[in-house]
Amino acid sequence: MVIYPDIEIHQGKCVTLKHGSISEPTVFDISPRDAASQFAAAGAEWLHIVDLDGVFDHRQRNHGVIREIIQHTNIPVQVGGGIRSHSVIEGWLNDGAERVVLGTAAVTDARLVADVCAHFPGKVVISIDARGGKAVSHGWESESSFSALELAQRFEAVGAGGIIYTDIDLYDELPESSMANTIEMATKLKCPVISSGTIRCLDDVSMLSQLPNISGVVIGWALFHDKLCLADALQIGRQKRTEASFI
């Protein structure tokens, strides 16, 4: 299981969001590039980077800093945040991103997903955020008529390189929330499933490592709030891969 340290960037700074809202971000006293360097030094094998300005105001203000991270951090990077066209995807891949993440565009433009998955095989992963089982978009503000699983199966069929799945109910720690939707997503898909928004402590990493077809987890909040040590999470992830190789 791959651990993806998550760097969310707003106006050039590392932040985390409460309930997906950009109105009051928690800002951290570390630059995105320094955070990337620290994660790499701790042994991270991938980075997950989100341009929040691209998500919320459709402007790629953080392109320069993300490109610097890609060029100076010697590990693969997957980039997301407001990516809505073939040309922008191609640009990120030309800049050295290993994979590109589509979120809102995947929900609103099925033709784009089919086109770029065919044109860039294995390089496009789809981020699906769900509330009450329904896919949402535009920074969690708009609910679609599609279930998260229905969309994921559609994207798998056109060749998505993987699905990043965020169960917002679980992320918000609602009393009735559970891992049931994440488990269903993982068991009903053949493509890799990456869980996001589910990690609060190391025990959560251990739990996810036991689920079928969870190829990775995105961890941001818990790392920036010192709720767990990246090295410990990486050890669990590597142990899971080692065990799988003997099955």
Asked whether residue 156 carries a pLDDT value surpassing 70, the answer given is: yes
- The whole-number pLDDT of residue 175 equals 47
Amino acid at 176: E
- The whole-number pLDDT of residue 87 equals 96
The domain in which residue 44 lies consists of 2-245
Can you tell me the mean pLDDT for 211-239? 94
Asked whether residue 173 carries a pLDDT value surpassing 70, the answer given is: no
- The whole-number pLDDT of residue 194 equals 97
CATH code of the domain covering residue 190: 3.20.20.70
In total, how many domains does the chain have? 1
Can you tell me the mean pLDDT for 160-187? 80
CB 140 within 8 A of CB 168: yes
Separation between Cα atoms, residue 159 and residue 172, nearest integer Å: 31
- pLDDT tens-digit readout, 93-129: 999 999 999 998 888 898 999 999 999 999 999 999 8
Asked whether residue 219 carries a pLDDT value surpassing 80, the answer given is: yes
Q: What is the token pair recorded at 108?
A: 């609103």
Three-class secondary structure assignment of the chain: CEEEEEEEEECCEEEEEECCEEEEEEECCCCHHHHHHHHHHCCCCCEEEEEHHHHHHCCCCCHHHHHHHHHHCCCCEEEECCCCCHHHHHHHHHCCCCEEEECHHHHHCHHHHHHHHHHCCCCEEEEEEEECCEEEECCCCEEEEEEHHHHHHHHHHCCCCCEEEEEHHHHCCCCCCCCHHHHHHHHHCCCCEEEECCCCCHHHHHHHHCCCCEEEEEECHHHHCCCCCHHHHHHHHHHHHHHHHCC
- The whole-number pLDDT of residue 172 equals 65
pTM: 0.92
- The whole-number pLDDT of residue 100 equals 98
Can you tell me the mean pLDDT for 8-28? 88
Confidence class for position 241, pLDDT limits 50, 70, 90: low
- pLDDT tens-digit readout, 66-78: 999 999 998 999 9
Percent of the chain with pLDDT over 90: 66
Can you tell me the mean pLDDT for 29-33? 97
